[in-house]
Amino acid sequence: MNYRLPIMLLVATLSSTGLKAADKVEKPTFSKVTIPTTSNMFQGNHAFADINADGKMDLLVKGRNLDKDWNPEVFTLINTGQSLSTKIPFEISNGWHKVVTPIDYNNDGYPDMLLSASRGAELYRNEMGKKMVKVSNFTIEDIELDNDDNKEIRYTGLVSVADFNSDGWQDIVTFDKSGNPVLYLNNQGTGSFTKKNNSGLAAQRNGTLAATDFNNDGYIDLAISGWSDSAGGTYLSVYKNNGDGTFTDIKADTSVGGSVAGTEKGQIMWVDANADGLMDLFITGASSLYSWNSKALLYLNNGNNTFTKNKTDFVGVKKSGAAWCDLNNDGTTDIIYAGETQDGKAKTVVALGKQDGSFEVYDNLLSGVRSGAAISIFDYNGNGSAEVAYMGWGDNEKFAVYTNANTQTLNTRPTAPTNLQIQNEADGALLTWNAGTDKETPVAALRYNVFVKLKNGQVFTIIPANITTGSLIIPDANNAISTRSFKVKASTSDIESWGVQTIDQAKSTSSFAVAQTTGINNTTVQEGNADVTFTQNGFQINATQDAHIYLYDVAGNLLEQQTIKNNTSYTSHLPKGVYILKVQTNKKNQTFKVISK
């Protein structure tokens, strides 16, 4: 349904972003949040999602309750406004899954639930936030973690959800029973998924995966880390999406001292660590390139399919999880990760980004967890300061939620993009806009979410969101785009409305700037005809041959008549209202309904 095209990013100067001096990083002070469940939850993970679609972010949790004989549980901590104060358990047929992943597989605006990583994956449909119902026709081959070799090693980075073939539906990449990566394509929200054969994803096991558009070409790419038989060690594959659900390994340099090192028993994560609009790679786990030592490495994206290692000395961990957010609201990206150090200790590490691109690293701000740690970060109460959830084996606690009590600087919402434009092209409609702004995040680091509503009632978004309020439903900002264009595989005549919102480094969103389409009929542009581009308040015509235009009001009165010569253009800005535009060339006559906003 949709795919994205790159356009040039604008780089903001530091003076325009409110960034603080490099030596004045504000350190968070974390305070534990009271939640209506035990802290003795382990062997699982969690993810923020607005389960009941009420505009307040909830926390979806999967794990084993050590206070109840290690019984497996899956539940949501419902956000009642300022706190996660209500626990809603879900009835599931198989409680032994290890991983829960939110996915709006049917594009209905309610996050559904994928349970996987042990004894067969299951998909549950969200019934308007009231209950989860098992999808009977869903089946995929699934990795098996419920054995001695895989237990308590990794519970994050095993599933990635995104629109990998640009058809508007959320697909799934995960690992099969042999531990190798597999792409399953969504059959248009029916609940069934089809395995993509010959996807280009090579055999690689005991690792993790992550998705983003790392090269800003408009397609969601993949990074996959783990053991590679062909490489004879741990290897990290960076896959460029070819735009059709197939991938090509860019062959990043994975030698010792090279640009990228692979790991297993850890997690890889895409993150714009230096706020330049290019997604970088943060990698944790045990690496054969480093004598199987536990590592935490950051590789900066150079924008040309190469990466450069950041010089920060991060605390190395394995059996780990990680997440990113602007924790202290200074416009730089921060990283929280947790796992087992080389000497077997549980550590939760807070790495605070600095203006000069380095990080201040603290391992004493939060209790340590390991043995398959999981981290989630989001400002669920909307107070301008993000909360942190973590799970794993720890000496003090295993599952907890913390808020940043140091609120000297609070995040502000970004502004929405402006100057929304739509242009009909032979293979779809091109949507463009001007950048949003943000008090804290540099313009280059802002990301964008787009919705498109078709006249048949279907609504597609890059990231699931409420198009009326702008609140995210599943806050996976890695799938947002950094470019300022979006191409839809549909004619403008099929589009009822579309909009775009801004997302900052704290994952806060603007409202959607909304553009109504012009209600165009018969807008197929063929070779030799005039190219008609519609704006919010008029139209522009680029003529490839002599063209005659006639503009009428709805009563049929002729308002304007022009002749446009070959290879020239004409722009008209109209007062608010509804108009009829006729364009005549010697090959075709076209009539359009124009709505000027």
pLDDT at residue 526 is higher than 50:
no
Plot region of 255 (φ>0 → left; ψ -120 to 50 → alpha; else → beta): beta
pLDDT at residue 339 is higher than 90:
yes
| pLDDT classification of 256: cutoffs 50, 70, 90 | low
Backbone angles phi, psi at 361, to 5 degrees: -110, 125
Q: How far apart are CA 286 and CA 441, in angstroms?
A: 33
Q: Count Cβ atoms below 10 Å from residue 432 Cβ, excluding itself.
A: 18
Residue ranges and CATH numbers for the domains of the chain are: 29-405 (2.130.10.130), 418-515 (2.60.40.10), 530-596 (2.60.40.3080)
Q: Which residues are paired to 497 by β-bridges?
A: 453, 516
Question: What does the pLDDT read at residue 531?
Answer: 67
Residue with the two structure tokens 């980004």: 353
| pLDDT classification of 530: cutoffs 50, 70, 90 | low
pLDDT at residue 527 is higher than 60:
no
Question: What does the pLDDT read at residue 504?
Answer: 97
587/64: higher pLDDT: 64
pLDDT at residue 243 is higher than 50:
yes
Q: How far apart are CA 25 and CA 550, in angstroms?
A: 61
pLDDT at residue 60 is higher than 50:
yes
493/44: higher pLDDT: 44
Question: What does the pLDDT read at residue 266?
Answer: 93
Each residue of 431-473: pLDDT tens digit? Answer: 999 999 999 999 999 999 999 999 898 999 999 999 999 999 9
Question: What does the pLDDT read at residue 252?
Answer: 81
Question: What does the pLDDT read at residue 385?
Answer: 92
479/2: higher pLDDT: 479
184/492: higher pLDDT: 184
Q: What's the chain's average pLDDT?
A: 87
Residue 9 CB-half CA count within 13 A:
21
| pLDDT classification of 110: cutoffs 50, 70, 90 | very high
Least confident of 89-93, 301-305, 433-437, 455-459: 89-93
pLDDT at residue 111 is higher than 50:
yes
pLDDT at residue 20 is higher than 90:
no
54/119: higher pLDDT: 54
Q: Count Cβ atoms below 10 Å from residue 587 Cβ, excluding itself.
A: 12
Least confident of 99-108, 195-204, 404-413, 584-593: 584-593
Question: What does the pLDDT read at residue 18?
Answer: 38
Q: What is the mean predicted confidence (pLDDT) over 98-125?
A: 94
Q: What is the mean predicted confidence (pLDDT) over 363-367?
A: 96
pLDDT at residue 499 is higher than 80:
yes
230/387: higher pLDDT: 387
pLDDT at residue 48 is higher than 50:
yes
pLDDT at residue 535 is higher than 80:
no
Each residue of 547-574: pLDDT tens digit? Answer: 888 888 877 778 888 888 877 777 777 7
Question: What does the pLDDT read at residue 207?
Answer: 87
The closest of 54, 267, 53 to 157, measured between CA atoms, is 267
The answer to whether residues 225 and 234 touch, using CB atoms and an 8 Å cutoff, is: yes
347/142: higher pLDDT: 347
Q: What is the mean predicted confidence (pLDDT) over 147-157?
A: 72
Question: What does the pLDDT read at residue 244?
Answer: 85
| pLDDT classification of 258: cutoffs 50, 70, 90 | low
CB burial string 109-124: b at 16+ within 10 A, e below: bbbbbbbbbbbebbbb
pLDDT at residue 263 is higher than 60:
yes
Hey, CA dihedral for 33, 36, 40, 43, is it positive or negative?
Answer: negative
Question: What does the pLDDT read at residue 523?
Answer: 35
